[in-house]
Chain A
Amino acid sequence: MDDAAEQTRQLLEAMNAHGGHAGALGFELVELGVEGVVLKTPYRAELVGDPDTGVLAGGVVTALLDHVSGQAVFAACSTPGSIATLDLRIDYMRGAEPGRDLFAHAVCYKVTRSVAFVRATAYEASPDDPVATAQSAFMLDANAGRKIGANLKPAR
């Protein structure tokens, strides 16, 4: 693996390991390459959405697909700067199987000057039998040269 790819790997792993939501959900980087990014989230009882069935919450699938899609943008651009999700569309084909780890694969298939487009799939065993699929668009360099966090100032 060359230096740039190794740097991306370290960046993605650091994003997953910090104390935020990715860390709280236990996201792990499984694969990183030209084919995109694969993440895993281990099954845990506290992430269940319907206690009658033990199926993972749709929201967990949403968070996983959002996260893996963002990581695919980082994998596809050498210097995306700070990125922001513009929109995310998710289709849920079926409930995730109770007790099984959930994987998600994302490919950033087009990058323009300001926007990156991503497709993603969540599955347990194979992307051919998806739990959910996602289509999203990300804004690149969301800070647009301003200081990080400048867009977070309270509205006046």
Chain B
Amino acid sequence: MSSPDLAALLERIPYARFLGLRAELAGDEMTAVLPFGQHLIGNPMLPAIHGGVLGAFMELTALAQLSIAQGQARQPKPIDVTVEYLRSARPVTTFARAEVRKLGRRIANVHVEAWQDARASPVAFLRGHFLVTPREG
């Protein structure tokens, strides 16, 4: 998948546009980028990014990585996700990378990591199973 293809894929997802999600591609390695915006705030007193936004961001990162790993006839559907929160996400840009740990004929297992200033200090993890429909051939 090329960078323009990836941009087009994200552009087609209304909620990805609503969040302001972007992605950078280096070979088959994708980094998803979520620039901070007021509409992402969870706790206005801190302020910190909404935990649900982090979950949604990592879920979209997993979906995009699955499309890179293998062309998908239909958008993969989440079956279950577990989100682990390690620290509050500050009002700055957040990054995420997904690793497809297993890609079967029907099910994929994906792990995602989100961080801000330093990758060594992740803000959250996501592990999930997705229903996939690989493109024939």
> Which positions in A face B, CB cutoff 8 Å?
18-24, 45-52, 56-60, 62-67, 70, 82, 84-92, 95, 142, 148-149, 151-152, 154-155
Q: Which residue of A lies closest to B80 (CB)?
A: A91
Query: What residues of chain A lie closer than 8 Å to B137, measured between beta carbons?
Result: none
Q: Check B50 against A155 for contact (C-beta < 8 Å).
A: no
Q: Can you give 8 contacting A-B residue pairs, CB < 8 Å? A: A23-B39, A24-B18, A57-B16, A64-B52, A82-B46, A87-B82, A87-B84, A151-B87
Q: Which of B39, B57, B59, B60 contacts A20 (CB 8 A)?
A: B39
Known: A57-B14, A62-B52, A67-B52. 15 other contacts (CB 8 A): A20-B47, A21-B41, A21-B52, A24-B18, A51-B14, A58-B77, A58-B78, A59-B19, A59-B55, A60-B15, A63-B50, A63-B53, A63-B55, A90-B81, A151-B87
Number of residues of chain B lying within 8 A (CB) of chain A: 45
Distance of A138 Cα from B44 Cα, bound (Å)? 18
Number of A-B contacts (CB under 8 A): 147
Interface residues of A: mostly helix, strand, loop or mixed? Answer: mixed
- Name B residues whose Cβ lies closer than 8 Å to a Cβ of A: 12-19, 38-48, 50-53, 55-57, 59-60, 74-75, 77-85, 87-88, 90, 117-118, 121
